[in-house]
Structure 1
């Protein structure tokens, strides 16, 4: 199968000498290039059934690597299953306008952080209003920074239980069947609060501007630039509720650990460039699904647009689902709904049989590690070009 790693290995060394990349982007390239190769070491395995031997090389475990996110998603989902409530769940999306997306690339930590926090504040504020739901809600938000064509398109996907606790926490308030919160009201409040927070960040000197946006460093110019954004429509979308808890998990498995492009979408890599599948959301029906060919350099540039700042969390929980209070709140909600926890924790005398880590592809029997292959190099940024300081 064609992989992003193949493109990086073939064109990365030459391309890196012609462009300026951050240390984080260089580390991502290096990790993807070395993933599941001899450079990271591995294990020599022997099947306990058919006695076949093979080498399994280690993964890079980088969160931007297309090959490493499947197992990470499974582990995360196993931890989330116990958090599901027997209520309807809604999918909401908050998207930044193109103008703000353009300055977000040089201000990722600030603007992505505002996108998370303002989206959560908007949901909780409108939900707490007695004219709408009048309840304390929880939400899980997931950041995506890309469009299907790898363009820069920051937005957050939210998974929200269809209801919340009353102000005193004594009862569960469910939303109307098939309807969570009014989208237009969410959009207007999200727009106002985000622009207020962005103006405050500019006043504090937290934003940086380069190239065609350099003039925005001036406060008056920035205020003038923001003016049209106060009147245009901001995209906030709320889908119909999921069809049961398993549908929620299926959705989460597709979205929580997704990277900018999966290897499965790559179709060809030749003298014309990199060809991949993409979805044109402006079209309808089957015409939505198209193919695109980019030069290898442009493909790599677009892929690396979506490298997140070190330590930046792309999955966050708010309100009733915030990490410090989630367990207690879920227990209270289940008690009010008169339902037992979905999964009881095992008792001390329960013996849990661990599943074998490696399974033989030929006969399905467990494989035994008989030797260790030492790694030859750590995952780090590629070496500087000659003459660089």
Structure 2
């Protein structure tokens, strides 16, 4: 296999069945669904369309996508749709990029408690940012933040952290003024780190008191309250990494960043180098090395590569992109309208003239297919049915 043709799906198709048999009984149903979706994505198994070009009359088969959020091939279109919805929310101010990271000891426990501890990571990072931002000694403003959860490092190891995009300012407490931060400086990182550490450990202890955490293997003794409290003690003195980058160079740079990060999966197809019967080689980044030597390749066994990829399967229904503060769903429109008024920005109005009241009507448009040969429009001539049979409804047990 060579780089242009190699995909995650190829690795799963060639080595996935053996991996499933080897790890039978130790793989979750959600992980099996992810593997199946990626293997069948854009193949005849999911069905598709037979297309014919109206210009050159060439025929082409377009197979359906799996639309699984862990599939590297399906994320480009999802990111595009999401970005189009976010463009109208950008304000003409500096935007800052912050990263909140869990220490290794907590990250190990988080793997068995993804819903609880990933959720806490997002909520506590937001609470930290909003609390420090509202402090009159710091900024004294209500902020808005978009957080994106990532659970991997460059080598696909388990490394849970959140990326935050924050405008450099916010609304005053009374909502009548826009408060801007100092140019090139948002909030003190050390203060954010201390509060983030304290809040997270407090809420983690509460989760333990409520018996919301699971413990396996070497962590089983932590199920005891006294042992868990003792385990938390050194974590209260350890440095928790909160990182702030320089402000983005305008709204376009913000959108460019979001397009790369919001719908990213553990590894993209473009990073794969080669795969044989035993090993997979891929490109990765070594962050502690010099810039000139930062990019290198890593080789893993097929089994280890699949295991690392599936480490990052999210719980069913878990929202990895969340908005807080000014951009929270409950008051987003009202807050942004007030912010634009204070910043003297004209609100972007939808171009469509089809409105019901003040809301645009979403018109259903037929999908546009382009001929790969001449670039002309293609029309659907035949629907190719999926080979997957629909799941039957659960049977009712009769006493």
Q: Same fold (TM over 0.5)?
A: yes
CA RMSD of aligned residues (A): 1.6
**Cα pair 1:41 1:376 within 8 Å, conserved:** yes
Give the match for residue 89 of structure 2.
83
- The structural deviation recorded for 1:269 is 0.3
Equivalent position to 2:308, from 302, 305, 308: 302
SS of residue paired to 1:142: strand
**Structure 2 residue 258 is the aligned partner of structure 1 residue 285:** no
Task: Determine the C-alpha separation between the residues in 1 that align with 2:367 and 2:67.
Answer: 20
CA distance in 2 between counterparts of 1:379 and 1:267 reads 37
Tell me how far apart the structure 1 counterparts of residues 146 and 166 of structure 2 sit (CA, whole Å): 7
Distance 1:252 1:3 in 2: 23
Q: Is the CA contact 1:88–1:242 (under 8 Å) kept in the aligned structure 2?
A: yes
Q: How far 1:354 sits from its partner (Å)?
A: 5.4
- 170-179 or 265-274, which moves further after superposition? 265-274
The aligned length equals 380
3-state SS of 2:303 partner: helix
**Cα deviation, residue 324, structure 1:** 1.5
Check conservation: 1:356, 1:366, Cα contact below 8 A.
no
Query: CA offset at residue 366 of structure 1?
Result: 1.2
Cα displacement (A) at 1:379: 8.7
Q: Extract unaligned runs of 5+ from structure 1.
A: 381-389
Q: TM-score, normalised by structure 2?
A: 0.93
How far 1:207 sits from its partner (Å)? 0.4
CA distance in 1 between partners of 2:250 and 2:304 (Å)? 41
| Mapping 1:140-179, distance limit 5 Å | 140-179=146-185
- 1:93-113 deviation per Cα after TM superposition (whole angstroms, max 9, x unaligned): 000000000010100000000
Contact residue 31 and residue 379 of structure 1 kept, 8 A: no
Decide whether aligned partners of structure 1 residues 24 and 379 sit closer, same or farther in structure 2, where only a CA change above 3 A counts. farther
| Residue of structure 1 in register with 2:370 after alignment | 359
In the alignment, the residues of structure 2 paired with residue 18 and residue 377 of structure 1 have an alpha-carbon distance, to the nearest angstrom, of: 25
Give matches, 1:328-347, under 5 Å. Answer: 328-347=334-353
Aligned pairs for 1:194-213 (under 5 A) are 194-213=200-219
Q: Does the CA contact (< 8 Å) of 1:30 and 1:379 recur in 2?
A: no
Runs of 5+ in structure 2 lacking a partner? 392-399
Counting only pairs closer than 5 Å after superposition, residues 222-233 of structure 1 correspond to structure 2 as 222-233=228-239
Check the 8 A contact 1:136/1:167 in 2, yes or no.
yes
The correspondence for 1:7, drawn from 11, 18, 39, is 11
